[in-house]
């Protein structure tokens, strides 16, 4: 039975990428060595690193004003690396609180400077993206989380900021075109749209660094990693290689404009059924619905477990909603084929018929 992987993360990867990655574990590019045992200082892996960076730059049109880094530690490490590198203790940064991960980034940042939350949907259980707020011009940066995996909301339009804009793009990175020049720093855990867990992509404008007056530990200073091409220490070799393969795949389908078209179509297919089917309803404001993480609940008591069992019997995996929201969450990242979304939609229609 085919398994349709709707997991929120680590998320689905293209089959061709996983096949190539599996081959590299045995014999990488006919070297006779496994990628898992190969020196990160070898010319073969240096070529991987250079291609991965080049693909990020090409797909997002990243200028040389920015460094592209592949770091370990996950996006959670960026929660403290960002303020550590950008914020002096007597300076202020402002944040938008739109979910669990945004809230965690706020908590970490408070260790390093004055943090002000200027927009929040916490009181409404994060069911919408705040839109009416003022960004103080004396802030060193404004931080947003562009997509919220748990609650199923996404910034459909990036706010204009009079101060440097920092974005956690972990769960919608490379799912649509973005204007990198609108941001001073972007970071994204790879394990949603770009690769496996263990690698974080950072795109940082070089001229914003080195201004805090802090003595930053070497491994936590972006400036350490830039001249070393992300190889100051041993990098997460295998995750970076899989990221490179996935970026190749995105390029092969035409880049981020066709990718966005695909993602819009998949999301519309599922949201249209949620809105049509009387047994289900969405949990977020319609205008803020995520294209990546579709959250919904049942409208009748006692049928949620039935639908979950039915879904599992049809090979649908990973749709159980987060405990803070309940219900269901279908994560439809880049590599999710529309045919799998159609299987879920067909099952929702079958369930409706069975309930009269």
The residues assigned a catalytic role are 101, 168, 192
Tokens of 70: 């592949």
Asked if residue 10 has a cis previous peptide bond (ω within 30° of 0), the answer is yes
Between CA 178 and CA 61 the distance in angstroms is: 9
Between CA 266 and CA 334 the distance in angstroms is: 10
Between CA 194 and CA 247 the distance in angstroms is: 7
Helix (H, G, I), strand (E, B) or coil at 197: coil
Q: Which is nearest to 127 in space by CA: 94, 98, 147? A: 98
Number of C-beta neighbours around residue 107 at 10 A? 12
Between CA 2 and CA 59 the distance in angstroms is: 31
Residue 194 near residue 215, CB atoms below 8 Å: no
The alpha carbon dihedral of 114, 204, 74, 226 has a sign of negative
Between CA 165 and CA 163 the distance in angstroms is: 6
Between CA 66 and CA 326 the distance in angstroms is: 40
């Amino acid at each position: 039975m085919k398994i349709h992987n709707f997991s929120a993360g680590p998320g689905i990867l293209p089959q061709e990428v996983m096949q190539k990655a599996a081959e590299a574990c045995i014999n990488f590019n006919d070297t006779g060595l496994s990628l898992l045992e190969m020196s990160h200082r070898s010319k073969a892996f240096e070529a991987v690193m250079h291609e991965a960076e080049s693909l990020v730059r090409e797909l997002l049109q990243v200028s040389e004003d920015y460094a592209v880094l592949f770091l370990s530690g996950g996006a959670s490490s960026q929660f403290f690396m960002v303020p550590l590198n950008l914020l002096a203790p007597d300076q202020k940064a402002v944040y938008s609180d739109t979910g669990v991960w945004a809230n965690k980034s706020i908590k970490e940042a408070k260790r390093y400077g004055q943090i002000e939350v200027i927009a929040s949907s916490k009181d409404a259980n994060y069911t919408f993206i705040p839109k009416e707020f003022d960004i103080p011009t004396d802030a060193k940066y404004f931080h947003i989380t562009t997509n919220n995996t748990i609650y199923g909301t996404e910034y459909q339009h990036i706010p204009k900021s009079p101060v440097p804009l920092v974005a956690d793009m972990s769960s919608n990175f490379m799912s649509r075109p973005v204007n990198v020049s609108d941001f001073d720093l972007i970071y994204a855990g790879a394990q949603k749209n770009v690769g496996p867990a263990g690698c974080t992509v950072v795109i940082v404008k070089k001229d914003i660094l080195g201004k805090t007056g802090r003595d930053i530990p070497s491994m936590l200073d972006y400036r350490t990693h830039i001249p070393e091409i992300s190889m100051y220490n041993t990098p997460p070799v295998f995750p970076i290689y899989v990221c490179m393969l996935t970026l190749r795949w995105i390029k092969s389908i035409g880049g981020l404009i066709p990718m966005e078209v695909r993602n819009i179509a998949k999301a519309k297919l599922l949201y249209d059924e949620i809105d049509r089917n009387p047994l289900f309803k969405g949990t977020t404001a319609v205008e803020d619905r995520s294209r990546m993480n579709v959250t919904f609940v049942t409208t009748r008591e006692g049928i949620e477990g039935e639908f979950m069992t039915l879904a599992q019997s049809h090979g649908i995996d990973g749709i159980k909603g987060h405990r803070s929201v309940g219900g269901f969450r279908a994560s439809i990242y880049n590599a999710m084929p529309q045919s799998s979304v159609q299987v879920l939609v067909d099952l929702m229609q079958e369930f409706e018929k069975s309930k009269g």
